[in-house]
């Protein structure tokens, strides 16, 4: 059971809730601050004060005073009118992250939302209810208004959920779970839909996958180094101590550990080759920079998932409701763009390595990794697939955060496009997983042409691939092999097996 208080959530907690259906409960320690901020909202209504979102309209309509008696209608209308998303729905793991992160933000006690409303959000998680949230429609400025509104609809018994892959009307879903719709009071509609939780959920999931993916990339790269009979010299710690970026140092050590005791590597220690191509020689410099980027992404996300990102924020101790801009997604937009760019580079170097392995003019291996080439095409078109994905990533990794488009009659005149950046980072991650799977599959094939023992870590990875996919003696349907290895990559099976013997930082 995860206990949330608005201040101590970790990315690992988010992943457990998203992927493992960890149950969640509101901490009693959060309740005093939540009650104080709710009392402030009631005070505003009783005194008929002009406070944005409580007794005013929204966006450009902030200058419209709303009578306190119309507060509930105002909140209901904002949820209905802002539920304007389009496109395919977010996956369930993303939606679970959204619910958790919105509840955690409200638990900070600066949003004026009742404890019972946060508990209603947590009921959705704990009953495994999957709200229908379309993936397009957020500009990432006044938070993720459209997608969060689709979530809020479910709380009030409207909108839709997804059951067994089908869109189902919410009342039926709530009734089956033994839950009742809630009635939104003043400030609660706005409090539910104003925040960065969609892009943050996408970000946490992408960050988690990126960490696993980069370890797989280093394993695949070390296997390729063996398949291409590369040298270990480029990974000498003396070289990397002269340019001590943390990620570079770690990656060089990882490669050294993976190829330790390799007969393949040591078999050509004094050959005529002076140096390897950049794809092999520069893995620490490239993958190390990616690792440093992922680390930065994690730092920003760790702050964001414990932040209050709606507007206005309530500070009952100073009797204030302050309109600010914490809903603006720029911090997340930047890191999601940066993550997408970094992961695209992982695919770039991986695809070039695949090409080098299938090219007999560069590899020293049979053409397209097939003994009887000509009658067999081997890995020829698997490399085409990797090239296609790499080219697609070049489009997806164009920074979304450099774009902006005004909304709400110019009141919201600069937006982050952070949710688009996060969606693209997610899509890039999926593409890179496929590229790394192809490299790992090709590298295992290449290693089999050398009748020598590979390194400690590369042998484990090679043997695991071979446990699921046999050596390709002659052409067969290759996409099935690619799917099998992609699953091993995506689920972390290869990493888990290797890390039982070899440390990968």
Q: For position 143, what pLDDT does the model report?
A: 83
Q: For position 271, what pLDDT does the model report?
A: 64
Q: Do residues 462 and 499 touch, judged by C-beta distance below 8 A? A: no
Residues of the chain with pLDDT under 50: none
**Domains of the chain by residue range:** 2-195, 203-311+320-499
Is 52 part of the annotated catalytic residue set?
yes
Q: What is the pTM of this model?
A: 0.96
Q: How far is CA 498 from CA 390, 458, 463, 465, 494, in A?
A: 27, 8, 10, 12, 6
The residue assigned the tokens 């949003």 is 111
Q: For position 268, what pLDDT does the model report?
A: 74
Q: How far is CA 51 from CA 141, 323, 443, in A?
A: 20, 9, 63
Rounded Cα gap, residues 427 and 431, in angstroms? 6
Rounded Cα gap, residues 150 and 134, in angstroms? 8
Helix (H) or strand (E) holding 89: strand 86-89
Q: For position 64, what pLDDT does the model report?
A: 84
User: Considering 21, 52, 278, 287, which one is annotated as catalytic?
Assistant: 52
The residues near 164 (Cβ < 8 Å, ≥ 6 apart) are none
Q: For position 409, what pLDDT does the model report?
A: 72
Architecture of domain 2-195: Orthogonal Bundle (1.10)
Q: Which of 48, 81, 82, 80 is nearest to 66 (CA)?
A: 48
Which of 168-173's residues contact partners 24+ apart within 8 Å by CB, and which partners? 170/131, 173/129
Q: For position 48, what pLDDT does the model report?
A: 86
CATH of 203-311+320-499, one of 3.40.50.1820, 1.20.200.10, 3.40.50.150, 1.20.140.10: 1.20.200.10
Give the orientation angle of helix 456-468 with respect to helix 418-447, to 10 degrees. Answer: 90
What confidence tens digit (pLDDT) does each residue in 431-462 have? 999 999 999 999 999 999 998 999 999 999 99
Q: Do residues 112 and 41 touch, judged by C-beta distance below 8 A? A: yes
User: Are the folds of 2-195 and 203-311+320-499 the same?
Assistant: no
Q: Do residues 402 and 414 touch, judged by C-beta distance below 8 A? A: no
Q: For position 145, what pLDDT does the model report?
A: 92
Residue count (the chain): 505
Rounded Cα gap, residues 465 and 459, in angstroms? 10
How many Cβ atoms sit within 10 Å of the Cβ of residue 272?
A: 5
The residues near 471 (Cβ < 8 Å, ≥ 6 apart) are 445, 448
Alpha helices in 107-196 (DSSP H): 115-126, 145-155, 170-177, 188-193
Q: Which of 77, 95, 123 is nearest to 14 (CA)?
A: 95
User: Bridge partners of 25?
Assistant: 3
């Amino acid at each position: 059971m995860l206990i949330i208080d608005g201040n101590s959530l970790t990315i690992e907690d988010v992943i457990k809730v998203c992927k493992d259906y960890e149950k969640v409960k509101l901490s009693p320690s959060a309740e005093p601050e939540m009650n104080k901020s709710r009392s402030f909202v009631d005070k505003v209504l009783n005194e008929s004060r002009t406070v944005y979102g409580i007794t005013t309209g929204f966006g450009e309509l902030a200058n419209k005073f709303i009578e306190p008696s119309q507060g509930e209608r105002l909140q209901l209308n904002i949820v209905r009118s802002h539920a304007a998303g389009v496109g395919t729905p977010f996956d369930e793991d993303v939606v679970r992250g959204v619910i958790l992160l919105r509840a955690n933000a409200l638990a900070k006690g600066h949003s004026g939302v009742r404890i019972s409303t946060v508990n209603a959000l947590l009921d959705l998680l704990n009953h495994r209810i999957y709200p229908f949230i379309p993936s397009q429609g957020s500009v990432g400025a006044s938070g993720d208004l459209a997608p969060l509104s689709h979530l809020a609809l479910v709380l009030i018994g409207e909108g839709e959920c997804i059951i067994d892959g089908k869109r189902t009307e919410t009342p039926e879903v709530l009734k089956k779970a033994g839950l009742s719709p809630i009635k939104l009071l003043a400030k609660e509609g706005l409090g539910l839909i104003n925040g960065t939780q969609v892009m943050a959920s996408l970000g946490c999931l992408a960050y988690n996958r990126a960490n696993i993916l980069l370890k797989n990339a280093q394993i695949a790269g070390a296997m390729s180094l063996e398949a291409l009979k590369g040298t270990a010299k480029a990974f000498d710690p003396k070289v990397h101590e002269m340019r001590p970026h943390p990620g570079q140092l770690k990656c060089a050590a990882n490669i050294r550990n993976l190829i330790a005791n390799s007969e393949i590597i040591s078999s050509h220690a004094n050959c005529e080759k002076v140096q390897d191509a950049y794809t092999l020689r520069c893995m620490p410099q490239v993958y190390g920079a990616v690792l440093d980027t992922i680390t930065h992404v994690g730092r920003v996300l760790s702050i964001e998932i414990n932040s209050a990102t709606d507007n206005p924020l309530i500070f009952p101790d100073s009797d204030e409701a302050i309109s600010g801009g914490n809903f603006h997604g720029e911090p997340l937009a930047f890191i999601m763009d940066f993550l997408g760019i970094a992961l695209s580079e992982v695919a770039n170097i991986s695809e070039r390595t695949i090409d080098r392995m299938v090219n007999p003019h560069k590899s020293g291996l049979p053409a397209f990794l097939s003994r009887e080439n000509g009658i067999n095409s081997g890995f020829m078109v698997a490399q085409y697939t990797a090239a296609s994905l790499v080219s697609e990533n070049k489009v997806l990794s164009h920074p979304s955060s450099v774009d902006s488009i005004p909304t709400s009659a110019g009141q919201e005149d600069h937006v982050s496009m952070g949710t688009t950046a996060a969606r693209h980072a997610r899509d890039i991650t999926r593409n890179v997983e496929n590229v790394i799977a192809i490299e790992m599959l090709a590298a295992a094939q290449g290693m089999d042409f050398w009748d020598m023992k590979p390194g400690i870590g590369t042998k484990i990875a090679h043997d695991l691939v071979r446990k699921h996919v046999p050596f390709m003696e002659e052409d067969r349907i290759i996409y099935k092999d690619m799917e099998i290895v992609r699953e091993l990559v995506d689920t972390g099976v290869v990493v888990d097996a290797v890390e039982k013997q070899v440390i990968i930082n």
